[in-house]
Amino acid sequence: MNKTQQQTETLAPIVKSVVVSLHVEGAFRLFTAGISQWWPLVSHSVGGEEAISCTIEGKVGGRVYETLKDQSKSEWGKVLVWEPPYRMVFTFYPGRTPSDSTEVEIVFQAQESSTRLTLTHRGWEHCGTSVQAERPGYVRGWEFVLGKYVQASSSG
């Protein structure tokens, strides 16, 4: 494998998919308006144990952010596409600046009485090398986060 092939492989989008036993509207609502119910803030936030909630503002231009105990906010990204209940796209830069953002697309596809959520985390090639180095952690991180989403979908 030459260096160009290796770089292309390294920068490939992360794609994760899960199926939840909710209709598409409920699956979308849980992921967006209900994100604070299931997102693992202690382990997957900027503030860690100081983080008390996270929010997706449901509109193009809306913020994706966490709120800390002192009521300060740490922005994770901005909503680029808002097409409820089927699709949303947001920039993603938790703990970084918008100039080092990646992009996350979430697609909700109805499947009889369930919904398939497909997450695509892309745009690694637009970031600095320190962000690119974080990519392997996001592969595992999205599996953990989506596992929490699946758990929440079956406990409500």
Q: 122-147, pLDDT tens digit by residue?
A: 999 888 888 888 999 999 999 999 99
Neighbours of 61 (CB within 10 A): 9
Sign of the CA dihedral running 27, 72, 93, 62? positive
Whose CA is closest to 22, among 118, 113, 108? 113
Residue type, 147: G
pTM attached to this predicted model? 0.91
CA distances from 109 to 20, 86, 129, 148 (A): 10, 7, 34, 19
φ/ψ (deg, to 5) at 41: -60, -40
Q: 53-106, pLDDT tens digit by residue?
A: 999 999 999 999 999 999 999 999 999 999 999 999 999 999 999 999 999 999
| Domain spans in the chain, listed from the N-terminal domain onward | 14-155
Rounded Cα distance, 52 and 94, in Å: 15
Look up the CATH number of domain 14-155.
3.30.530.20
Rounded Cα distance, 12 and 10, in Å: 6
